[in-house]
Structure 1
Amino acid sequence: MQRYQDDILRIADELTDAYVEVFTAPPWTHRDPDETRVAFRKRLDDDARRPGFAAWIERAGDGRIAGFVTGWTTPAPFRTDRAYGKVRERLGAEQTDDLLVGAFEIDELGVLGWARGTGLGRRLLASATEGQPNGAWLLTWNEAHDTIAFYRRTGWHEPPVAGPETDIVVFLSPDHPKLP
């Protein structure tokens, strides 16, 4: 497994292809591949420049990307763009700031279909969360039932819902120091 920082942009096109393959397959078949490609590539350019950005890539024996994880340390103040507003709505401002700000935020985790069932998702999460003193967190779509089941099986915990339900589910890493 190889760790990247802003040098991820050297393989941006290859990573984008892998991302599109993962996130236009079930349960994300409603996503348009071309729109998904453009949006992810733009986000990657921006995200790779965030303070604390890191990515881990696992390759198959033939060199193809088998899986990836990206993230960064969540800064203060907690953002409101993208799905962040839904996170704050779901958890409440106080809990969001207490549990998520300063923790490592898993932004993207993807394992290509042909590499699933090999433990790669677990290894990617372990690589990204190892040594994170403030724990880690992630969110997923509430309709990604297999993904939610995976996080639960691997020991990730859902913090208490303080506000209205949204279409996202937030998880804290198994070793998060502030598990409620």
Structure 2
Amino acid sequence: MRTFGPDVLTIADELTEAYVEIFTAPPWDDRDPEETSARFRARLATDAHRPGFHAVVSFADGGGIRGFVTGWITEAPFRTDRAYGRVTELLGAERVDELLVGAFEIDELGVRAHARGTGLGRRLLSTLTSAAPGGRAWLLTWDQAHETVAFYRRTGWREPAPLPGAESDVVVFLSPSSSSPDQTDPNC
């Protein structure tokens, strides 16, 4: 595995290819590959320059990307683009500030089909979050990505309780090393 900062842009073509392969397969198979490629590439060009940006990439022995994870430090004010507004609706602005702002945000975690079931996703995630400020990290995913949601639960990530009556198609997870008194697991 290799760690990158903004120099991840030197492998942008390979990373975009892997991203498209992963995120146009089920359950995301309704996405157009060309549009997905263009959007990811544009986001990567911006995200690579966010404060605290890091990426960890696993390469196959013969070349090619097996899997990757990207993220950065969540800054204030909390974003409202993409799915971030739904996160605020789900948790409330005060809890977003408490739980997510200043924590390391996992933006993308992807493992190609041929590398799944090898523990690679767990290793990528662990490597990237090992230096999270105060051990605090978080991520969000789509509630219809059932295997993804199950993976995070198996690896010890916890869901903070939503506001009463709040519903969303996003699921927020806090890293095992993050602590919060209001997580859904009563043992947290």
Both structures adopt the same fold (TM-score exceeding 0.5): yes
Paired residues of 1:86 and 1:166 also in contact (CA < 8 A): yes
Structure 1 partner of 2:133: 133
Q: Counterparts of 1:138 and 1:96 in 2: how far apart (Å)?
A: 12
For normalisation by structure 2, the TM-score amounts to 0.93
For normalisation by structure 1, the TM-score amounts to 0.97
Report the alpha carbon displacement of residue 62 of structure 1 after superposing the two structures with TM: 1.1
Q: Please, which runs of 5 or more residues in structure 2 have no aligned partner?
A: 183-188
Q: Counterparts of 1:72 and 1:139 in 2: how far apart (Å)?
A: 13
Question: Quick check: 125-134 or 27-36, which moved more?
Answer: 125-134
Identity of aligned residues (%): 64
Q: Counterparts of 1:2 and 1:100 in 2: how far apart (Å)?
A: 26
Residue 169 of structure 2 is aligned to residue 167 of structure 1: yes
5 Å matches for 1:71-110?
Answer: 71-110=71-110
Q: Counterparts of 1:14 and 1:30 in 2: how far apart (Å)?
A: 22
Counterpart amino acid of residue 149 in structure 2: I
Structure 1: 4+ residue segments shifted above 6 A: none
Report the alpha carbon displacement of residue 6 of structure 1 after superposing the two structures with TM: 0.4
Counterpart amino acid of residue 154 in structure 1: T
Q: Counterparts of 1:131 and 1:31 in 2: how far apart (Å)?
A: 33
Question: Quick check: 85-94 or 130-139, which moved more?
Answer: 130-139
Paired residues of 2:102 and 2:133 also in contact (CA < 8 A): no
| Residues 20/179 of structure 1: CA separation in 2 closer, same or farther (3 Å cut) | farther
5 Å matches for 1:1-180?
Answer: 1-134=1-134, 135-162=136-163, 164-178=166-180, 180=182
Question: Quick check: 159-168 or 48-57, which moved more?
Answer: 159-168
- Residue-by-residue CA offset, 1:128-175 (whole Å, 9 max, x unaligned): 110313310000001000000000000000001015211100000000
Q: Please, which runs of 5 or more residues in structure 1 have no aligned partner?
A: none
Q: Counterparts of 1:16 and 1:179 in 2: how far apart (Å)?
A: 38
Paired residues of 1:159 and 1:170 also in contact (CA < 8 A): yes
SS in 1 for 2:140: strand
Paired residues of 1:172 and 1:179 also in contact (CA < 8 A): no
Aligned length: 180
SS in 2 for 1:63: coil
Q: Counterparts of 2:13 and 2:60 in 1: how far apart (Å)?
A: 17
* Aligned-CA RMSD value: 0.9
Report the alpha carbon displacement of residue 61 of structure 1 after superposing the two structures with TM: 1.3
Report the alpha carbon displacement of residue 51 of structure 1 after superposing the two structures with TM: 0.9
